[in-house]
Every structure is written in C-alpha cells, then in structure tokens.
Amino acid sequence: MLSLYHEARSPVHRSPAGAKLAVLLAVGTGLFFVRSIAALGAVLLVVALCYAVAKVPARVGLRQLRPVLPVLIAIVIAQLVLTGWVTAVLVGQRVLVLVALANLVTLTTRTSAMIDTVEAVLRPLRPLGVRPERVGLLVALTIRFVPVLKEQADQVRAAHRARGLRGTRFLTPLLIKTLRLADGLGSAIEARGGPD
C-alpha cells in the first residue's frame, strides 16, 4: 500500500473505498472455503478481468506482484514438499488472488479515501477510548515513511561500505537516524495542526 495509486477513470476507481475493502475482506475469507483448482483459477481470471475494467495495465499489475513472488515460490515449494502438489497449487492460487486483489484496491483507491474509511469504521469505538484520527494518521505515516526509512537504510549501508565495514553494524546509526526522524516528525505534526 505504498501510495501506488494509478490514475484512471473506471467503475473500480469510482467505487467507495469501504466497499472495496469489504469485498477484499469477503473474498479473502471466502477463498479458504474453495478447494478446487479450477474454481480458484476462475477467481484468478475474474481478478484479471477486474484489472482490465480498472484500466490498470498488465505491466503495472505484474510490477506490484514482483516483490511477493519469492515468498509465494517459497510457500509453494514448502507445501509441495510437506503436503503434495494439489495443496501447493491451491495455496499458491489463494495467495496470488489475495495479493492481486489487495494491490488492485491500492492501485484504484487514494490513501486519503482509505484513511477516511478507517476513521469512519473506528468512529463507533470512540467511547472506548479509540481515537480514529490517530489511527488514520498512523496508516498515513506508515505508507509515507516506509520508503523514507528504506532510503535512510540504503544511505547508512552505503556509508558503511565506503568505510569498508560489513555486517549489521549499520543498525545502530540507522536506529539513531530513525529516532531523530520520529522526533522531527512529531514536531511537524504538531506544527501542522495534526491530531493531539
């Protein structure tokens, strides 16, 4: 969900974020009751059709799947060894459908709409002490800062390599940089009128 919104005019883009998340939840749950390779293959085809309706080019969809492939292959191999090829294919199909569908939601939903939905869903829990705007901000910050932290980690690692250092020693300066970032971020949220 790292802010991968793909701009297009489509019924999928126009659908409310809450509806898309509900479908994702329902399909994600329902998948575990489907035990036929053919049926899961059909579901995969429907998901592919949804990508076409959403006007998301195949290369964009496949690019989002690429980071998950090593994990998917590892899961399938583990299932193949432990339980046999039928379960391995079923598990592989389920993971593929879930990831592809989650990516489709991300590609067709602005983060702000996602956050508004999270806040709306949590609003009834306010009497229990839940602060929906804080949870919404947490979601936004996670999406915003994962690439920033990765960039920082790359910089610190490069600096260590330049000095001939190897191993995990880069973690300490990275932690210090991250804490400084968090401190500055807290001030920025306060300065910009974020939730208390």
Partner 1 sequence: MIELENVHHDYGDHKVLGGISLTLAEPRIAIVGANGSGKSTLARLLNGLLLPTSGRVRVDGLDTKKDGKAIRRKVGFVFQDPDIQIIMPTVAEDLDFGLKRHGLTRERRAAKVTAALLEHGLDQHRDHPAHLLSGGQKQLLAIAAVLITDPTHLVFDEPTTLLDLPNRHRVTRLITGLTQQVVLVTHDLDLAATADRVIVLDHGTVFADGPPARSIDAYVALHTA
Length of the chain: 196
DSSP 133-166: HHHHHHHHHHHHHHHHHHHHHHHHHHHHHHTT--
Q: Per CB under 8 A, does 192 bind partner 1?
A: yes
Closest CB 1 distance from partner 1, rounded Å:
9
Q: Per CB under 8 A, does 108 bind partner 1?
A: no
CA angle 67, 71, 77 (to 5 degrees): 140
Q: Which of 37, 143, 157, 164 binds partner 1 (CB under 8 A)?
A: 143
Structure tokens that stand for 165 in this block: 């250092």
Closest CB 148 distance from partner 1, rounded Å:
6
Q: Which of 75, 80, 122, 189 binds partner 1 (CB under 8 A)?
A: 189
Structure tokens that stand for 1 in this block: 């969900």
Closest CB 42 distance from partner 1, rounded Å:
33
Distance CA 179, CA 12 (A): 39
For partner 1, the closer of residues 11 and 147 by Cβ is 147
| Sign of the four-CA dihedral 98, 104, 109, 112 | positive
Q: Which of 55, 110, 157, 160 binds partner 1 (CB under 8 A)?
A: 110
| Sign of the four-CA dihedral 7, 12, 16, 18 | negative
Residue 42 identity (one-letter amino acid): A
Structure tokens that stand for 181 in this block: 């970032």
3: which DSSP letter? S
For partner 1, the closer of residues 111 and 117 by Cβ is 111
For partner 1, the closer of residues 27 and 143 by Cβ is 143
Name the residue with tokens 């583990």. 78
Q: Per CB under 8 A, does 147 bind partner 1?
A: yes
Binding mask of the shown chain, residues 57 to 96, with x at each position contacting partner 1 by CB under 8 A: ----------------------------------------
Binding site for partner 1 (CB under 8 A): 2-5, 7, 110-112, 137, 140-141, 143-144, 147-148, 151, 181, 184-185, 187-194
